[in-house]
Amino acid sequence: MTTTIETSPRAGKRRGLHARWRGLRMLAAVTLIGAALAGCTGEQFQKGYILPPGALEQIPIGASQDQVLIVMGTPSTVATLDGEVFYYISQRSERMVAFMNQKVVDQRVIAIYFDKNRRVRRLANYGLQDGKIFDFISRTTPTSGQEMSYLAPLFKLLSFN
């Protein structure tokens, strides 16, 4: 017994329409997955003071406190030990995926020390390098002294872990 399959023009159109819908559904699924993954890309966060490019180079030793305020703006905090010290505090963190915890990438404390006449005596750019407070200007790690007792709590305040 032989069977004959008739192909009508209508059946061909149905198959073509079905293939188009399958292609559109596939395109919609790929687009939806792409949009979902785009929402999961990493983010960077900046907290605190943002140092303008070239700002520290504009502050020579001996500059007045007013000049520092014009270039750097209002400090995050001020200490009065052996004169006055302006601290500009910042932290940069990132997270790779939107729902993960943030990871601290960089922490900085820029300290500008003034003498009794309110003139810049010293600049320091403290950060964390290998888990220790490190001055990026003089490339030294302070070993002891009164200054470290003021900087350590500032770094602990910044780290929210």
**Bigger pLDDT: 105 or 139?**
105
Torsion of CA 65, 71, 87, 53, to 10 degrees: -150
Is residue 6 predicted with pLDDT exceeding 70?
Answer: no
Is residue 64 predicted with pLDDT exceeding 90?
Answer: yes
Is residue 10 predicted with pLDDT exceeding 80?
Answer: no
Taking the chain, what is the end-to-end CA distance rounded to the nearest angstrom?
80
Is residue 115 predicted with pLDDT exceeding 70?
Answer: yes
Q: What count of other Cβ atoms lies within 10 Å of the Cβ of residue 109? A: 25
- Written as six digits, the tokens of 73 are 């703006």
- Written as six digits, the tokens of 112 are 């500008």
- Written as six digits, the tokens of 134 are 């490190």
Output the pTM of the full model.
Answer: 0.56
**Bigger pLDDT: 154 or 123?**
123
- Coil, strand or helix at 54: coil
